[in-house]
Amino acid sequence: MKIILVGSGGREHALAWAISDSPLCDELIVTPGNPGTKAYGRRADIAAEDIDGLVHLAQTEQADIVVIGPEVPLVEGLADRLEAVGIRAFGPTAAAARLEGSKRFARDFCKRHHIPQPQWDYFSTAEPAREFAASLSGGAVVKADGLAAGKGVTVCDNAEQAATSIEEMLAGRFGAASAQILVEERISGPEFSAFALLDGEEAVWLASAQDHKRAYDGDEGPNTGGMGAVSPSRFETDDLREQIMQDIIRPVAKGMAAEGNPYRGILYAGLMLTDKGPQVIEFNCRFGDPEAQVILPRMKSDLLSAIYTVTEGGLKNFDMRWDDDSAVTIVMAAKGYPGSYEKGSRIYGADQLESASGCLVFHAGTSQNADGQIIANGGRVLCVTALGATRQQARMKAYAGVGEITWDDEFYRSDIAAE
Ligand code: AMP
Ligand code: GLY
């Protein structure tokens, strides 16, 4: 099969690595890709947001399947556009991707299908939003309804803080994405990311993971796209997995199908394990980045066969196998990220997928200069993944891998998977 993979991050490097390993993969094109994905096939230079360009590329290349990595093209309907021209897409339609693209849709959907979630309400004016926030005990969370690159959420300790962010958001802090907002009860407990594969009817469990979203050690500093991750989560048990499948994942698959929006692709449920059981914080309609970099190395089944099965239906009979090992990934970022940072330093030690210490080095924000040398060119630059019989072993090995890579402005957290 000829596959096009859309995206350019560490997640897409991990996807390219896993897809190209499949006996079903005859040719892989990654667009726009990064220097790390070059080893697995051609790069095309169509951006992940250029829907027309991607449809055109898929048609000219006569692709069999287009695998869509990031959320923006999914929310904007790339899967629908491809299906309209007879090309299989891996990833939900725009209607189904509203589970990520509209927080209000996700909350209303959970309500309709009795999926456990915090109390919430939806507002487009400040006064009733402030009143609702003040009525919640234990603080409130204010969220932009639309996509805000992972930044549209403010967790508030009290009603005054909530009032300030309500006003800022409605005044257009995230443009159209925050013209409408949600105010939620602030729940507490460990966070748990659950990943499942859905084929429009059935759902199968993939893996759990925990990411580390804050920039600095000890969960200090600004929120980022993720500074590291571990899979499985230390909270995963057989019982918890079954509870999440029964109360959350299967109801999503059934509910979306019943509403005429069958969900096909990865479902990433961001949950909080409260004393009343797991509750939904958010849904994402794709793999996480950097969660894919710890989930895919643990997958023993053929990823492309699983993807094909999702586009075909019949996932129920797919034999999904996993490595019992733990995986840890450390994000090596540019000093200053998620704020402003320097680009252009030469990176030493990241030329091979497998490092001397046996880690997998996935590229994210890198480029290559005219001499073919690897250059830092983004906020999150590289992800170094290691597998180990225990979380601790995986962690030690991943940090040994990080130690083999250097550039002038590197920075990373030293406490990923430490607890
Ligand atoms: P989100 O972008 O929806 O994942 O939210 C970002 C972070 O805000 C989450 O990872 C949680 O730590 C926190 N958060 C979101 N919603 C809630 C909530 N209702 N209660 C407590 N924390 C929340
Ligand atoms: N690492 C969080 C995400 O991909 O949404």
**Bridge partners, 4 (sequence order):** 29, 66
Are the CB atoms for 43 and 29 separated by under 8 Å?
Answer: yes
Q: Is 342 left (phi over 0), alpha (psi -120 to 50) or beta?
A: beta
State the DSSP H helix or E strand holding residue 321, giving kind and residue range, or none if neither: none
The reported pLDDT for the residue numbered 405 is: 97
C-alpha–C-alpha distance, residues 257 and 6, integer Å: 26
Supply the CATH number for residue 336's domain: 3.90.600.10
Alpha helices in 77-208 (DSSP H): 78-84, 94-101, 103-112, 126-135, 159-170
The reported pLDDT for the residue numbered 67 is: 98
Domain boundary at 93, 111, 129, which? 93
Supply the CATH number for residue 15's domain: 3.40.50.20
Same domain, 210 and 301: yes
32 phi/psi in degrees, rounded to 5: -80, -10
C-alpha–C-alpha distance, residues 354 and 281, integer Å: 35
Structure tokens at 272: 């909080």
In a domain, 169, yes or no: yes
100 lines ligand 2 (CB under 6 A): no
C-alpha dihedral, 222 to 223 to 224 to 229, nearest 10°: 120
Same domain, 16 and 44: yes
Structure tokens at 6: 């859309």
Q: Which atom of ligand 2 is nearest to the CA of 287?
A: 4
Same domain, 213 and 178: no
Same domain, 285 and 208: yes
In a domain, 398, yes or no: yes
For 383, the domain range is: 326-411
In a domain, 374, yes or no: yes
Domain boundary at 293, 317, 341, which? 317
Note if the bond before 232 is cis, omega within 30 degrees.
yes
Extract the residue ranges of the chain whose pLDDT is less than 70: 149-150
The reported pLDDT for the residue numbered 146 is: 80
Ligand nearest to the CA of 380: 2
Give distance in angstroms: CA of 226 to centre of ligand 2.
Answer: 6
- At 149, is the secondary structure helix, strand, or coil? coil
Structure tokens at 304: 């492309």
184 lines ligand 1 (CB under 6 A): yes
288 lines ligand 2 (CB under 6 A): yes
Give the tens place of pLDDT for each residue, 302-320: 999 999 999 999 999 999 9
In a domain, 99, yes or no: no
Q: Which atom of ligand 2 is nearest to the CA of 229?
A: 1
Ligand nearest to the CA of 383: 2
Same domain, 244 and 215: yes
The reported pLDDT for the residue numbered 150 is: 63
In a domain, 416, yes or no: no
The reported pLDDT for the residue numbered 172 is: 77
Supply the CATH number for residue 238's domain: 3.30.470.20
What is the model's pTM? 0.95
Please state the domain count of the chain.
Answer: 4
